[in-house]
Chain A
Amino acid sequence: MDDIRSSPDQALVDAVLANRPGAFERLVREYQGLCWHIIQRMVRNPEDARELCQDTFLRVHQCLHQYRYESALKSWIGRIAFTIALRHLQHKRIPLLDPGSDHDGFDLVENIGDGFDLEAACMDEETARHLHAAIEALPPLQRTLLTLYYLEETSIPEIARITGLATGTIKSHLFRSRLRLRDTLETRTGVAA
């Protein structure tokens, strides 16, 4: 707890709670990217995402005095964003995961095609479009976990604090979604190669 209490998080939280000019704006600036990544990946609709980001920070402002430094401020705010996006999906009856997605598809991609040129595939617009569509087709939870892991470079234990999922469950989701994306590449670039 001492580490968190002596961190810049505490200075920022204290400044917001003391209503110092510019403090809340600084907090929003610091964490708006994280909230956007979580919410946009969950709900996908940009207008809804903007509105939910706003709701997230209004809630942060309202509840900041309840923050007890038990986790990093990033995880605490991320948790609020995730919960708000989750409620939105539940309200719209959008499933968080594919029903019946217990099989991880590992057997399907055991055979690996040879001769994959990374730079050529990266430049190939058709492959990029294919991969983009495959990422968009992932269930909301898996899309969000991948974004937190790759784009935000958030560790698995920290993702666990944001989502409330067990680390083993997060590992399993990351594993499956990367396999699924690799399978997409196998079918696409296998043909191209």
Chain B
Amino acid sequence: MIPHDEDHIPVFDDDAREREWLAQETAMRREQLQLDPASDDARSRRYRLIARRLRQPLPGTLPADFARQLAMRVGATPAASAASGASFEFRLMLALAAVLGVASAVVIVIYGNAWLPSFVELLPDPQAPATRWLLALAGCLGVSWLLGLWQRRAHPQHD
């Protein structure tokens, strides 16, 4: 079980109350263990009587076939699994991405002629030396990434 910070049970500020609480607790434990009440004082015996009464089953109960009836009732509707919840989210994400893609394509077709040339002007000159070095660096990184991917597939690690 995960330890929770709030599991700590605070002590009463008043000593007399804390002593009374400890008497209640001791009587409960002694009753659970069914220890001989001969050595208990009058207060402890009263708390033990209370404990005995509180440990008795409650009146009334659920029908004997409660679990079976309920299982039959939910049998028609299978429990929603975490996987099905996740797959719904994934399908929703795919649908939204498709809508975004279609909307982007429509916008480019309608308004592309007006603003695409401005973007083309912003692109770096492919003949410039700095652009060549950047392309070479990107190529190295890409090849390194692909090699890593291939190695992981060829030699999978079993933890």
* Chain A residues at the B interface, C-beta cutoff of 8 Å: 1, 3-4, 16-19, 22, 24-26, 28-29, 32, 36-37, 40-41, 46, 49-50, 53-54, 57-58, 61-62, 64-66, 70-72, 104, 106, 110, 112-119, 121-122, 127-128, 131-132, 135, 146-147, 149-151, 153, 156-157, 160-161, 166-168, 171, 174-175, 178-179, 181-182, 185-186, 189
Contact = CB atoms under 8 A, between A and B. Distances in A.
B17 A106 contact: yes
Interface stretch (B54-62, B93-101, B103-111, B151-159): B54-62
B54 A182 contact: no
B156 to A, nearest CB: 24
A115 B9 contact: no
Interface residues of B, number: 54
Contact of A65 (B12, B37, B73, B81): B81
Nearest to B63: A50
Contacts, number: 155
Contact of B43 (A53, A72, A112): A112
18 contacts: A36-B58, A61-B79, A65-B80, A72-B1, A104-B17, A112-B42, A118-B37, A118-B40, A121-B49, A127-B49, A128-B53, A131-B49, A147-B54, A151-B54, A156-B9, A157-B7, A174-B24, A182-B46
B12 to A, nearest CB: 8
Contacts of A119: 37
Interface of B: 1-2, 4, 6-10, 12, 16-17, 20-21, 24, 28, 32, 37, 40-43, 45-58, 60-63, 66-68, 70-71, 73-74, 77-82, 84-85
| The 9 nearest A-B residue pairs measured at CB | A25-B71, A28-B67, A150-B54, A157-B7, A116-B42, A46-B60, A118-B45, A168-B10, A17-B81
Contacts of A58: 70, 73-74
A24 B71 contact: yes
A26 B71 CA distance: 9
B50 A24 contact: no
Nearest to B28: A150
Contact of B9 (A64, A113, A167): A167
B67 A25 contact: yes
Given A61-B79, A71-B2, A118 B60 contact: no
Q: Which of B28, B37, B50, B51 has the most CB of A within 10 A?
A: B50
Contacts of A127: 49
B66 A53 contact: yes
Nearest to B27: A178
Given A19-B79, A46-B60, A167 B24 contact: no
A29 B69 CA distance: 11
Given A121-B45, A131-B50, A135-B54, 6 more contacts: A17-B79, A53-B62, A70-B2, A118-B45, A150-B28, A151-B54
A108 B68 CA distance: 50
A30 B81 CA distance: 21
A17 B17 contact: no
Nearest to A28: B67
B79 A16 contact: yes
A18 B12 CA distance: 48
